[in-house]
Each structure stands twice: as C-alpha cells, then as structure tokens.
Amino acid sequence: MTVVDRQEWDVVVVGAGGAGLRAAIEARERGARTAVICKSLFGKAHTVMAEGGIAAAMANVNTGDNWKVHFRDTLRGGKFLNQWRMAELHAQEAPQRVWELETWGALFDRTKDGRISQRNFGGHEYPRLAHVGDRTGLELIRTLQQKIVALQQEDFRETGDYESRLKVFQECTVTRVLKDGRHVSGVFGYERESGRFFVLQAPAVVLSTGGIGKSFKVTSNSWEYTGDGHALALLAGAPLLNMEFVQFHPTGMVWPPSVKGILVTESVRGDGGVLRNSEGKRFMFDYVPDVFKEKYAESEEEGDRWYDDPDHNRRPPELLPRDEVARAINAEVKAGRGSPHGGVFLDVSTRMPAEVIKRRLPSMYHQFKELADVDITAEAMEVGPTCHYVMGGVAVDSDTAATRGVPGLFAAGEVAGGMHGSNRLGGNSLSDLLVFGRRAGRHAAEHAAGQVRERPRVDDVQVDAAAAEALRPFSAESGAGEEGDGSPPENPYTLHQELQQTMNDLVGIIRREHEMEQALRKLAELRVRARRAGVEGHRQFNPGWHLALDLRNMLLVSECVARAALERTESRGGHTREDHSAMERAWRNVNLLCAMADPTGGVAATAPERGQIVLTRETTEPIRPDLLALFEKEELVKYLTEEELYE
C-alpha cells in the first residue's frame, strides 16, 4: 500500500480562485471544517488576472438597471441556451455579493456622488461592471483572502490554532476524486514542491478549478488552466455539459509572438475604443446580426453620441457580445483587411486624452508599453481573437451547485457549465464566482453535516491506483514503452505543443466537419502517446512531471470539446461552424452531455480511435413563463423552437 499523508475534513475545496475562496468562506461560516487546495501560491489564482469588472445590476450609474434587465442581457448573450435558473439567481444575487465584498474591505472605483462606479461592457444594456481600474480581479482575490485570514484569526482565538477550521494547502495538485460507492469520500493529490502524496478525506468536495485554455495555442489563460476540474468530474462519473462552447475573446495581443494571446480588456471598447481595419474603416457596423439590429447604432455619429446620452441613442457595435466581435475580426483578417501582424486595429488614442487613458486603463497602458513598445495614448493597438473562457463545464443543479450522479461532489465558477449558455458576457464571470461559489459552499457544508454519523470511507485500492497513475511518467523513463512496443518515452512538452496546435487549427474559432474529425483522430493518437509520456529526475521540483499529469486532463477535455462541436450542426455563441453557419431554433433546447465511455475511468476498455467520451443529447428544461414574459414576443420568435412558442 502506498504511504500517503492523510487528514480528515468536512469540506474540501479544490481551487482558490474567486469561486473556491467564496465557497470556502461560506462552508466555514456554516460550521464545516474546510480545506482549500490550489496549484499555485495562495492569492495567485487566475481570478487575479480579471481586469474589466464584475457585473451586477446595482443601478448606480443608470437607474433603469435591475436584475430583470441583467437576466435578459445574459440570456441574449448566451443565445437562450443558458440554464435559465442559474441566470436568474445570478442576476438577482450579484448586487448583494458585490456589496458584501465592500463590507469585507474591497475598494471599488466610485461615481462622483460616492457610489460604486459601474462601466459599460459588451452585451450589457446599462453600465453594470463594478471595477477597480482594470485590476478588478486582484481586488476581489485580495478581499476574499483577507476575509479568510480574518476567519482564521477568529478560529485562533477560540481554538489556539489558526488552521483548525480553515486551512489552505497551496502549491498542491489534486489528481483524483475518491469515492465510496457513489459517494465522494475525498481527494488524492501531491505537493508540487516535494512530490509527496496526500489524501484529504471528506464527504463533500467542491471543484472550482477554472478553465481549459491551455489546450489551445493562443490563449489569454494562465498555466493553471489545464481543465483539471472538468477531468476530475468526468473521471468521478459526473457529466460535462455543452463543451463545444469555448469563448474566443475578440481582443488579444497579436504581436510580438512572445505575448500573442494576452488579453486586451473589453474595457478598452467599453470606455470608447473603436475597431478599424487596414483601410481605416470602423467595420463593426457591417457585422450587426439581425437578432441585435434594433439595439445597435447604424452610424458612427449615433454610436459616439451614445457614450454621453445612452437614453436617446443606440450603443456602438464594438459593444456587441464577444462572439460577434471575434467572428467579425476573423472575417476582416481573412478578407485581407487585417493589420500587419494578422489582427485589426483597436484605437483609444484618438478617442480620449492621454491622462484619461492612463487613469482608466493603467494595466493596458503598461502592458503595451512594456511588452510591445506601443504607446496606446498615441497609436492604435493590434488585436485578434484569443481563447479566453469555457462556457461548457460540469453539469450542476442550478440552486445547489451539486453535480449529477455523484453525491457530495459540487462545482462552481468557470469549471461549472450552464450559467452562460453558448456565450458569456464580460463581467458575468466574477459575479458567477461569488453567487455560485457561495451556494456551493453552503450546500457542501449542509451535505457534510448530513453525513456526520457514517462518513464515506476512503478505499485504499483507489489510493494505490491514484499513486500508480501519478508515478507512471517515471517508469516510462526506462524506455521500455508502456505498450510493450519498445518505443521511446514521449516528451510531455512535445505532446502539449501538438495538442495546442491541433485544437487551435482544427477546433478553433471557425469549425468544419472534416477538420474536427481530423482533430479527433489526432487526439486519439496523442492519447496513446501520452500514456508513454516520460520524465527524468525525481518528484521534487519537476515541472515536466506536472505537465505529464496535466496532459491526461487536457486530452479528456479536448475530446469533449471536439466531439460536442462535431455533433452540434449549427452556429451559436462560442461555437461557429462554417458548414452550418446559421443558428437553428431546433437546437435551442438541446444540451450535449459528455461522460466517460468506461465509467471505471480507465482507457483500456475503449478502443483508442473511438475515444474515451460518450456523447448524449438531452432536452433543456422549459424556460419558466414569467421569465419568458420579460421578453417581447418578436424577440422570442428569433430564438425559441416552434413547440416552445406554441406552448
């Protein structure tokens, strides 16, 4: 039996971004002894990178705003495929979560009369994003961290131990969720620094591991985004929902190559920035789709007037939802009207005085100055689409964040699916993290409290199997080849590079049937080779080993994306098919679910070319009539199926 450190907790939260920290705070406040695990240093999660703001209908800048308008915008942005109950809860609860942050010490930018300031963003009818310059995520994490420290100090006063009820395990990676029958019994993981294995036994586990961007070559995402939580859920038997929906943010840096993909925040456009092609044309006016025509300006003059008088003018099309803008940029570049380095121009220099740009967009100013030697107060930026966010994710219950079929397993934040439908509006992630992080923490704590008498037990066979799986890259070092064919071990970095290139080229922003089939064949090949991913050295400080383990997750998740994208024969939100370019009403109420073909989590039982994932369709729950009544009938006709309209 493998020797591993073992500890017992009530709730284990995997991930210390906004969702994980909010879940942990809630679980601890409800009396659960809570452990938080994260791959990076505490406070370094991806959430720190969030720039533009947090969407909440507080109506501080325009009194016309309220949760119903926010709900409507969110459904329009997601092209009505959102899990509507999540969108409802999110719109209703987001303001409370922002005010709560303020009471915990967050310092948001203010309006002239002292209220929390709110800025414009794509797809939001009113200025709605509470922000701290363009460093909102940093303030959010700082505040949640501070709250955790405050709770630990409270615990110290009572128990003499800061970590008695809330402990953070930083620089640790979870590789398996453990189960007792159907029930969650804990997690298996390793310390990244020492390579030591550990088990945290707990009846409730919250997955809050963020996104999947590192499976794509050009991405705004950090190194942590390897789809771990998605894979952990799949391997534990919980399905993923609508994985075809991957958001390509329209504006990433395109030059120099070393920074390609780094995000250029949407606040640039929200604050007045405009997109132009190589002919100097503001091309977005040519790309307003029919479903949005009534809401967007038809001329530059009207669009510009909107910034000062939003009640009597329509918004400029640069503020369309992200999927529309990303496709438009892609089309301009393809038509030969791109910038020198394969993007388009984003200009604020002719729209705002230099000191306003530096005050409102300080990070962007420094980012371009330091990384590209471009002064955005004097010249235009070059930008192009970058893989940014995954709308698909672990299928969850809207109210409780519980996964399907695995009692005790919860998911919140970017790792969870449903909330954003086929396309997320900017700012709706940070609010999602807080609303559903809190809900997940609450329900995980309640679940754990219900298991006090008889806790699920950790199965040593599973622990041994998890340890053997984690150690496999070291035995591939012998050169014998796991498959017994004498082939040499594979380099995990090469495999990762090939995976990223495949997803970028074949399952990227514009998708075609034959390319996705090609991608699935390549993924099958990579999967076989990844079983021979070998590393040198030992378990201490070994990044090659970490990557070899992450590959399992990226390959699983990539297969889900490719399979679901191949299945959905329409274009909707973050899923664009060249061969099925229209949004089809018949697909409006169809969810695609991905599950492991071999429920034991192994791969042996499945032929590699058939893949590891099985895909099923389900019909979405009908949207509640009082929520449908928030929309004009003419608008619903554009989205809903015949049967839904009839009903």
Residues forming the site for ligand FAD (CB under 6 A) = 14-20, 37-40, 45-47, 49-54, 136-137, 173-174, 208-210, 220-221, 224, 228, 263, 389, 413-415, 426-430, 433
Nearest to 561 by CA among 216, 123, 52, 166: 216
Measured CA to CA, the distance from residue 134 to residue 138 in angstroms comes to 9
* Residue 186, token pair as written in the block: 């804990």
**Cβ-based nearer residue to ligand FAD, 44 or 568:** 44
Pick the closer one to ligand FAD by CB: 49 or 89.
49
Nearer to ligand FAD, 240 or 566 (CB): 240
Contacts of 477 (CB under 8 A, 6+ apart): 489, 534, 535, 536
Cα-atom radius of gyration of the chain, to the nearest Å? Answer: 24
Pairing of strands 183-191, 172-180: antiparallel
| CA atoms of 646 and 96, how far apart (whole Å) | 37
Cα 343 to chain centroid distance, Å, stands at 24
**H helices present in 373-427, as ranges:** none
The answer for residues whose C-beta is within 8 angstroms of residue 135's C-beta and 6 or more apart is: 51, 362, 363
Nearer to ligand FAD, 137 or 316 (CB): 137
**Cβ contact 404:62 at 8 Å:** no
Q: Which single residue brings its beta carbon nearest to ligand FAD?
A: 17
Q: How far apart are CA 153 and CA 151, in angstroms?
A: 5
Residue 543 neighbours by CB under 8 Å, 6+ apart: none
Judge whether 249 counts as a catalytic residue: yes
How many residues comprise the chain?
Answer: 647
What is the nearest approach in angstroms of ligand FAD to the Cβ of residue 284?
A: 21
- The least CB distance from residue 544 to ligand FAD, in Å, is 17
Contact 608, 68 (CB under 8 A): no
Phi, psi of 190 (to 5 degrees): -140, 150
DSSP letter for 380, please: P
Compute the least distance from the CB of residue 233 to ligand FAD, in Å.
11
| Shortest reach from residue 624's CB to ligand FAD, in Å | 25
If the CB atoms of residues 433 and 566 are measured against ligand FAD, the closer one turns out to be 433
Of 39, 17, 81, 640, the closest CA to residue 392 belongs to: 81
Residues 6+ apart with CB under 8 A from 297: 285, 303, 306, 313, 314, 315, 316, 317
Q: Judged by CB, which is closer to ligand FAD: 210, or 421?
A: 210
Residue 277 near residue 318, CB atoms below 8 Å:
no
Between the two ends of the chain, the Cα-to-Cα distance in Å is 59
CB 564, CB 240: distance < 8 Å = no
Which tokens belong to 143? Answer: 């505040």
Q: What is the distance between the alpha carbons of residues 251 and 266, in angstroms, rounded to a whole number?
A: 8
Instruction: Give yes or no for a cis peptide into 256 (omega within 30° of 0).
Output: yes
Distance CA 565, CA 615 (A): 11
Catalytic residue among 33, 183, 249, 580, which?
249
User: How buried is residue 573: exposed, middle or buried, by Cβ count under 10 Å (0-12/13-18/19+)?
Assistant: buried
**Catalytic residue flag (residue 269):** yes
Give whichever of 39 and 260 is closer to ligand FAD, judged by the CB atom: 39
Residue 219 or residue 277: which is nearer to ligand FAD going by CB? 219
Least distance in Å: CB of 263 to ligand FAD?
Answer: 4
Cα separation, 13 vs 411, whole angstroms: 9
Give every CB contact of residue 640 below 8 A, 6+ residues apart in sequence. 80, 585, 588
Q: How far is the CB of 49 from ligand FAD (least distance, A)?
A: 4
Q: Is the peptide bond before 95 cis (omega within 30 degrees of 0)?
A: no
Among the listed residues 30, 269, 529, 575, the single catalytic one is 269
Q: Of 346, 355, 356, 339, which is closest to residue 319 (Cα–Cα)?
A: 346
Q: Residue 149 Cβ, how far from ligand FAD at the closest point, in Å?
A: 17
**CB closer to ligand FAD out of 47 and 117:** 47
CB nearer to ligand FAD: give 203 or 227: 227
How far apart are CB 364 and ligand FAD at their closest, in Å? 11
Phi, psi of 192 (to 5 degrees): -65, -30
**In the complex, what is the shortest distance from the CB of residue 393 to ligand FAD, in angstroms, rounded to a whole number?**
9
Q: Which residue has the tokens 């380095």?
A: 341
Q: Minimum distance between the CB of residue 186 and ligand FAD, rounded to whole angstroms? A: 13
Residues 153, 158, 159: CA angle, nearest 5 degrees: 95
DSSP single-letter state for residue 440:
H
Catalytic residues, which ones?
249, 269
